[in-house]
Each structure stands twice: as C-alpha cells, then as structure tokens.
Amino acid sequence: MSIAENLADIKARLPENVELVAVSKFHPADAIKQAYGAGQRIFGESRPQELAAKIKELGRQEFPELQWHFIGHLQTNKLKLVLPYVAMVESVDSLHLLDEIQKWGEANSHITDVLLEVHVAAEESKQGFWEEEIIELLFNASKYSKIRFRGLMAMATNTPDESIINADFQRVDSFMAYLKELFPELKDFNQLSMGMSQDWPLAVKNGATIIRIGSAIFGERI
C-alpha cells in the first residue's frame, strides 16, 4: 500500500484522542511530503543532523502546519540543532539532559515541552528514568522554569510475547495515573507516548495518547 493508504488505515483504527507521530527518521523528505499531503502533520526524528537537513528542505512556507517531535537520545552538544525547531522532545532520559535543556532555555528565552522517558522494559540497554527518579524530579519541577513537563514516554520490552508488552504498558499507564494524582499542579502533564508499529493497539488499550509509527507508514527504513 502507499503511504497515504497506510496512514488512512491506521487513522481509521485510532481513537480521536490519540495523536499519531509518523516516525520519519531514515526516510527521505519526499516520503514526508507524501504523508503531509495525506493529512499527517507530526513527524518524529532521532538524529539532529538529519532533522536539520529536513527542516531546511521542508520549509514553513510550503508546509506551514508541519511539526517535529524529537524521539531519540539527545546529546547535550546538539541542543541548538533541535530545541528551536521541535514542538516536543519525547525522549528526555537523564537529569543531565534536563539541566542542559533548562540552561539552553534560560540563555535563549525558550520553553521546551518534554516527555520523561521511563524505563520499564526488561532490557538493561533501554534508557530512561526509574519511577522513583521521576517522582523526585517532579517534586522539584518548579526549578525548571524553561521546561514544560507534558508527560511520559516509554518503550515496551522487545519481545513477541504480547502478555509481556501488555504488562509493560499497564505499568506505565498506572504510573502515569499516580503522577497526575500526586502532582495536580502540573496542569499540562497529560501525555503518554508509547506504542510503535508492532504494538500500538496494545498501547492505545492501555492509555497511550501519542503513538509513534514508522515502518507501518513508510515501509522499511532506508
């Protein structure tokens, strides 16, 4: 199927309250143009240099409603390539990165929307915060004047066992509900990004408000 047909198929099954991020990393700008023409507006990139090149090619005049989410590990020396241009950083995975985003925001009078990446998968290689670290961080949220905490991002264990994936998503959804109850003052803390091409229906069933889909839209990565 074409990119437009893939998008139509996914959106037909997606609840109205769930946002679709089309993961365009490693796909050419022409593929993004096709998706934009089919009505898709939010795209996910994970490499600052690739993002910068696509921003240059996909100008605001021709694509005025296009939004970028940064979804990969962000190195602190690449902030200037990313923060001025993205609507959200979905992948804040350390206090060091958070502190550097705050410093950059102070220097540039810029507020960045972020999701905190929570570590739930079984693999030790997965990045992110443990739950207790996120709780401690949010108790100190007021010191981050240039950061808007929007919610959580998570990736499930890489396994064909749907019961494990479902348990991972359930855990994150329960944690999200706990945080919203614990920190009612964080009015914008309401986004839960989880679910990719293989497991997004399970993520939606477990409270995802954002899903990140690449290959099911664009085909295999180049």
Task: For 189-208, write each residue's pLDDT tens digit.
Answer: 999 999 999 999 999 999 99
CATH number (domain holding residue 189): 3.20.20.10
* In the chain, % of residues over pLDDT 70: 97
- Cβ-based burial of 160 (10 A; exposed 0-12, middle 13-18, buried ≥19): exposed
Total domains, the chain: 1
Report the predicted TM-score, pTM, of the whole model to 2 decimal places.
0.94
Residue 125 has pLDDT above 60, yes or no: no
Question: What pLDDT sits at residue 222?
Answer: 58
Tally of CA atoms within 13 A in the half-sphere of 15 that contains its CB: 14
3-state helix/strand/coil string of the chain? CCHHHHHHHHHHHCCCCCEEEEECCCCCHHHHHHHHHCCCCEEEECCHHHHHHHHHHCCCCCCCCCEEEECCCCCHHHHHHHCCCCCEEEEECCHHHHHHHHHHHHHHCCCEEEEEEECCCCCCCCCCECHHHHHHHHHCHHHCCCEEEEEEECCCCCCCCHHHHHHHHHHHHHHHHHHHHHCCCCCCCCEEECCCCCCHHHHHHCCCCEEEECHHHHCCCC
Neighbours of 107 (CB within 10 A): 10
- Averaged over 154-173, what is the pLDDT? 94
Question: In which domain, by residue range, is 179 found?
Answer: 3-218
pLDDT at residue number 127: 79
